[in-house]
Structures are given as C-alpha cells and as structure tokens.
C-alpha cells in the first residue's frame, strides 16, 4: 500500500471524462448528460459559493468558482440547469478591475458540478492581482491573489497564515474572517476542511449551534452538498477571496482516521469504502482551487506538491492519509504499543517520502516548510514514568517515517526546517529532536521546530485556562492552548515569527481575534524562542 498510484481499484478510469461519468453512477448520484444548448439565462446570482485562487506560480495561479443557484440541493448539483454554462473570467492589476491583463472563458459543466478551474499564465512574478467571474449578466465579487516571486529572487518577507479543522456544527467561522482581515500573501489549509458526519453525531458540550445538511457523506451527491454548505458561509468566502490557498486534506474530507484503503476502526463495515473514497476525492477537487495535475484518477489523487517562494521558502504540501500503513495497535491512544516502532511502517508512502527527501537535497531556499496534517513531534501522554501513551494516528505511530524525514533534512543540510501541523484542535509549539526514541545528548539535539494550529471551530469554544499534563512529560513542547483560532506568520530571510491567534468564543459569531503567544525562529538557529508574554 506504499505506492503513489492505484494499487487496486474498482473504479480506475481511462480518462477524466470517463471518471466523472463513472463516479456519478458508482456513488449513487444521477448521471448527467450535458446539454450545451444556450438555454434560458440564469435568473439569480450563481456565485453563491464564492470564488477562490490557489497553487500560485511565478506566472499565474488557479482561479476557482462553482456555480450554484440552490447550494443545499440534495442532488449536490446546486439547483443548476443540467447544461454547460460559459463563465468569463478577468485578471486585473487593480481592485476596480479597470486594468485587465488577462481574460478568457471557461465552461462550467454539470458533470463537474459546474465548477471552474482556470490556470492562468503570462502574469508577472511577485505581483498582487485581482480577479472576478461573470456568468450571463451576473458578476462575482472581486478576489485578491498573487503570483510567487521569480525563482532566483529573495523577497523581503512572506506573510503566511495556516489553519485547519472547521466543523460547521461546532461554531461560526469567525476565525476565517479574522484571518482574511490580516491580508496574508498565502494561506495554507492543512485539512479537515469539511466533516463527514450527519447532524448531531459529533456533539460538543452545550449542544451544536449549527447543523449539517444531509446524511453522513458517502456518495458524490452527499460530498458535493456538504462542500456547498461550507462554501456558502460568508466568513469562509472572505478567507478564500483574500489570498491564494494551498490545500491538502486530512481524514474528515473522507472518513474519520482513514488510512489508504482502510476505513475507520472500529466502525460499521464499509464494503463501499473505495467508491466512497473516489466520490470524496472528486468532490474535493471540484470544490478547491487545484491544478489539473490534482484531478482524481479513480481512487487516487496526486495532492502532494511543492510551491517555491523565490529563494525565501519552499512550501512542501504533504498527504499523510492516502499512502499510509494502517494505524498500529488498532488506532487511537495506546499504551506501550511496540508495533509503532517498526521502522518499515510508513506514513507518507515510499514515493512521497522519496519526493520529499529529493526536495531537501535540491533546496537552496532559506526556509523549508512542511505543510502536513498530524502531530509530528513526540507527544507522550503517559501518567506513570514506565508507561508510554501515544496517538497511533500521528507520527508517533510511524516513528520510522519520522526518523527518515528528520534525518533526511539534516543530511541534506536544510537550513531552516519547520513543520506546520493541524488536526488536533489545539495550539501547540515544540522543538523537533533528532531522535525522540533515543537516549543521550545526540538524541536530544534540536533539529527543527513544529507549529501546530488550533481548529477554526472543531470542539467548540475551548477552555483558555486549561493546562495539558502532556507538557510535563515532553520538555521539547513549549506551548499549548485550548482555544480556537489560526496561526499567522511573517517569514523573512532573518527569521520566522509565528503569532498564535485565538478567539474567546465560536459558538456565537463575531468574536475578536488576539495573539496569545508569539514564537520566533532565527535563521540558522534550530528551535523556538518565545518573544511575547502570553495573554
């Protein structure tokens, strides 16, 4: 199960066209025969799901939208007529769209849920741009985006924010709004963009303030509807419209704690899991600003990729779900699980691991940032000295994988490696050690840092005063906070500064964001320095 492209699949398609048609039948959605006749004009605004940009390069980026007249329609097609709709797009150098520098027309097709992915080219490197779409007489809002610097340039700074885990039922997406107000250059979303549960399956204390529409997502129609419910949120739309995004999934975009071709355990058996996986991947692609290289092929999607920000930074976006071995010892938190120490176990799969190690060898950038999903540093939750208690879903369950990655960046001489993580619904900050399982001064050597963002909403308001006892057993962990929020960073040639942003409540809308703690990583000096007092 460690190879990049399909090991076995009941749904392998010979082309993208065959894929989408086959998925519609295999996953329970109604197959759509596209009608390319002009048809009646769209009577109401079809841009109810907003606009987005992503995967920037020096000469362009992906521009995205998806047309929907009724976003929550049960068939997942957004109440759109079952015909192809021409969509015009423009890119300008000003927010009033007076100086247009690129334009064109794309077709929003019913077989792809009327989504549009425009791959722009010919733009200038390191520039801010603005864009919009038009369908019939309807105009979208104007979005802000940018190209990456030329490969040889050293930009003065990069403003990057990262976020994860937005369970719609658990609260309001105010943190996305606050992130947008910071106006970053680029946003990394590290997974759990949607959640798969039916309403009131995953309930927080005091009850969920919002409800999911539809059943647990299993079919293509289900996933399309769920993505539309999230995308219709105005706070999320604001975050998408402010900057290009780099996105990767975690587990809830498909099924909790899935591992390659294995569904969640313990769980009701899922004989249709491969079909479910294919449907989820198709809907994910349709609803994200991804390039054609990430279009699903059966049950496989090539999602890991690198974005170079001139000579300042490499952003390595990783996929820690699609190629991993099944979780050790039955998953969950386990005490003294020796299977997790098997060096042959992999979280990334062999090909992705090799890709990342080769990226390290080729890197000339000042900073190498790993955008990935699950806790990287050791997090031993033991309650007695002789007991070890670890999460089998994170890198603690795949110690051989972690060792190969950390040794790889050390051997390659990576100047400043920093791991960026989501998943755990809490803010954390820690040093990364050379060998968490070893003993002696060499094992205790600090070789990098990990910054973990809290959730946008998942698990509700949190507890600002909570103290996590795990920190007493893990001296390399320097910070913990149980509140919702995101991480805002400024990256320069001299240092990377990370502000841990928190909101006091998300179960009601409108909370302000504040910085609870700030950490700094100096160029060439491994490890974290706290530079601001905690609130």
Burial class (CB in 10 A: 0-12, 13-18, 19+), 440: exposed
Higher pLDDT, 354 or 21: 354
Q: In this structure, are residues 113 and 84 in contact, taking their beta carbons and an 8 Å threshold?
A: no
pLDDT value at position 267? 73
Q: pLDDT tier at 369 (50, 70, 90 boundaries)? A: very high
2-16, 192-206, 369-383, 418-432 — which is least confidently predicted? 2-16
Query: What percent of the chain has a predicted confidence (pLDDT) above 70?
Result: 92
In this prediction, residue 324 carries a pLDDT of 98
**Cβ-defined contacts of 258-264 (< 8 Å, 24+):** 258/321, 259/321, 259/324, 259/325, 259/326, 259/327, 260/1, 260/321, 260/322, 260/323, 260/324, 260/325, 260/326, 261/1, 261/7, 261/8, 261/299, 262/326, 264/331
Distance CA 255, CA 393 (A): 13
Q: What are the structural domain ranges in the chain?
A: 146-532
Instruction: Out of 54-58, 70-74, 161-165, 383-387, pick the least confident.
Output: 383-387
Integer Cα distance of 19 and 240 in angstroms:
28
Of residues 303, 318, 311, the one with CA closest to residue 371: 318
The mean pLDDT value for 279-300 works out to 97
Q: How many Å apart are CA 315 and CA 306, to the nearest integer?
A: 6
Q: Within 13 A of 304's CA, how many CA atoms are on the CB side? A: 23
Q: Is the distance from CB of 146 to CB of 128 less than 8 angstroms?
A: yes
Q: How confident is the model at residue 250 (pLDDT cuts 50, 70, 90)?
A: very high
Residue with tokens 């990098």: 448
Q: Are 1 and 323 in contact (CB under 8 A)?
A: yes
Q: What is the pLDDT of residue 87?
A: 98
Rounded CA gap, 309 and 365, in Å? 8
pLDDT tier at 11, thresholds 50, 70, 90:
very low
For residue 448, pLDDT over 80 is answered with: yes
- With bands split at pLDDT 50, 70 and 90, how would you rate the model's confidence at 443? confident
Res 428: pLDDT: 98
pLDDT at 370 over 90: yes
Asked if the model's pLDDT at residue 35 lies above 60, the reply is no
- List, in order, residues 6 or more apart from 385 with CB less than 8 Å away: none
Q: Provide the pLDDT for residue 36.
A: 46
Distances in Å between the Cα of 178 and the Cα atoms of 163, 233, 453 are: 12, 14, 15
When pLDDT is averaged across residues 34-63 and rounded to a whole number, the result is 87
**389-391 and 462-463 beta bridge pairing:** unpaired
- Cβ 513 vs Cβ 502: under 8 Å: yes
Torsion, Cα of 237, 243, 244, 247 (10° steps): -60
Banded model confidence at residue 189, pLDDT cuts 50, 70, 90: very high
Helix (H, G, I), strand (E, B) or coil at 35: strand
**Is pLDDT above 70 for 452?**
yes
The candidate with the shortest Cα–Cα distance to 8, out of 264, 298, 285, 255, is 298
Segment 33-39 shows an average pLDDT of 48
Full 3-state SS string of 469-535: CHHHHCCCEEEEEEEEEEEEEEECCCEEEEEEEEECCCCCCCCCEEEEEEEEEECCCCCCEEEECCC
Residue 14: which pLDDT band, with cuts at 50, 70 and 90? very low
The number of CA neighbours under 13 Å toward the Cβ of 483 is 22
Looking at every residue in the chain, the average pLDDT score rounds to 92
CA torsion, ordered 364, 128, 319, 373, to nearest 10 deg: 100
Q: Which CATH number fits domain 146-532: 3.60.21.70, 3.40.640.10, 3.40.80.10, 1.10.760.10?
A: 3.60.21.70
pLDDT tier at 534, thresholds 50, 70, 90: low
Give CA–CA dist 160/246, Å, rounded.
11
* Candidate from 266-275, 278-287, 313-322 with smallest mean pLDDT: 266-275
Closest to 228 (Cα-Cα) out of 272, 171, 168, 175: 168
**What one-character DSSP code corresponds to residue 257?**
T
Give the span between the Cα atoms of 462 and 507, in whole angstroms: 10
């Amino acid at each position: 199960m460690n190879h990049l492209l399909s090991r076995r699949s009941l749904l392998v398609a010979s082309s993208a066209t065959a894929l989408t048609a086959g998925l519609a039948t295999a996953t329970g959605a109604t197959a759509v025969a596209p009608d390319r006749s002009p048809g009646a004009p769209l009577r109401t605004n079809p841009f109810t799901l907003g606009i987005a940009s992503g995967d920037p390069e020096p000469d362009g980026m992906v521009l995205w939208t998806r047309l929907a007249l009724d976003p929550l329609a049960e068939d997942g097609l957004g109440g759109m007529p079952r015909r192809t709709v021409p969509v015009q797009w423009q890119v300008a150098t000003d927010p009033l769209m007076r100086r247009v520098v690129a334009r064109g027309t794309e077709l929003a097709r019913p077989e792809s849920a009327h989504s549009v992915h425009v791959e722009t080219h010919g733009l200038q490197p390191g520039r801010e741009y603005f864009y919009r779409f038009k369908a019939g007489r309807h105009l979208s809002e104007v979005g802000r985006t940018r190209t990456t610097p030329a490969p040889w340039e050293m930009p003065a700074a990069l403003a990057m924010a990262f976020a994860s885990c937005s369970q719609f039922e658990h609260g309001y997406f105010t943190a996305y709004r606050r992130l947008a107000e910071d106006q970053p250059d680029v946003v990394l979303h590290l997974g759990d963009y949607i959640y798969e549960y039916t309403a009131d399956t995953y309930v927080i204390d005091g009850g969920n303030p919002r409800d999911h529409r539809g059943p647990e997502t299993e079919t293509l129609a289900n996933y399309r509807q769920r993505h539309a419910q999230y995308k219709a949120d105005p706070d999320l739309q604001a975050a998408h419209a402010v900057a290009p995004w780099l996105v990767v999934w975690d587990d809830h975009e498909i099924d909790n704690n899935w591992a390659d071709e294995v569904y969640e355990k313990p769980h009701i058996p899922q004989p249709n899991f491969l079909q479910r996986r294919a449907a989820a991947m198709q809907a994910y692609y349709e609803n994200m600003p991804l390039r054609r290289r990430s279009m699903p092929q059966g049950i496989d999607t090539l999602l890991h990729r690198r974005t170079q920000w001139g000579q300042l930074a490499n952003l390595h976006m990783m996929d820690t779900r699609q190629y991993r071995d099944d979780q050790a010892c039955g998953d969950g938190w386990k005490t003294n699980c020796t299977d997790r120490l098997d060096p042959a176990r992999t979280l990334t799969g062999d090909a992705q691991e090799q890709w990342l190690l080769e990226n390290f060898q080729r890197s000339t950038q000042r900073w190498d940032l790993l955008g990935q999903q699950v806790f990287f540093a050791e997090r031993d939750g033991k309650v007695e000295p002789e007991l070890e208690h670890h999460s089998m879903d994170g890198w603690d369950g795949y110690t051989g994988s972690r060792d190969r990655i950390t040794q790889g960046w050390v051997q390659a001489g990576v100047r400043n490696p920093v791991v960026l993580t989501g998943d755990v619904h809490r803010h954390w900050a820690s040093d990364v050690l050379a060998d968490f399982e070893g003993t002696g001064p060499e094992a205790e050597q600090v070789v990098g840092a990990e910054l973990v963002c809290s959730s946008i909403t998942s698990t509700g308001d949190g507890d600002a005063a909570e103290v996590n006892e795990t920190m007493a057993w893990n001296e390399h962990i320097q910070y913990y906070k149980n509140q919702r929020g995101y991480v805002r960073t400024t990256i320069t040639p001299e240092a990377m500064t990370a502000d841990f942003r928190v909101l006091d409540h998300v179960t009601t809308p409108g909370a302000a964001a504040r910085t609870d703690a700030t950490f700094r990583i100096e160029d060439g000096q491994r490890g974290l320095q706290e530079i601001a007092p905690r609130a």
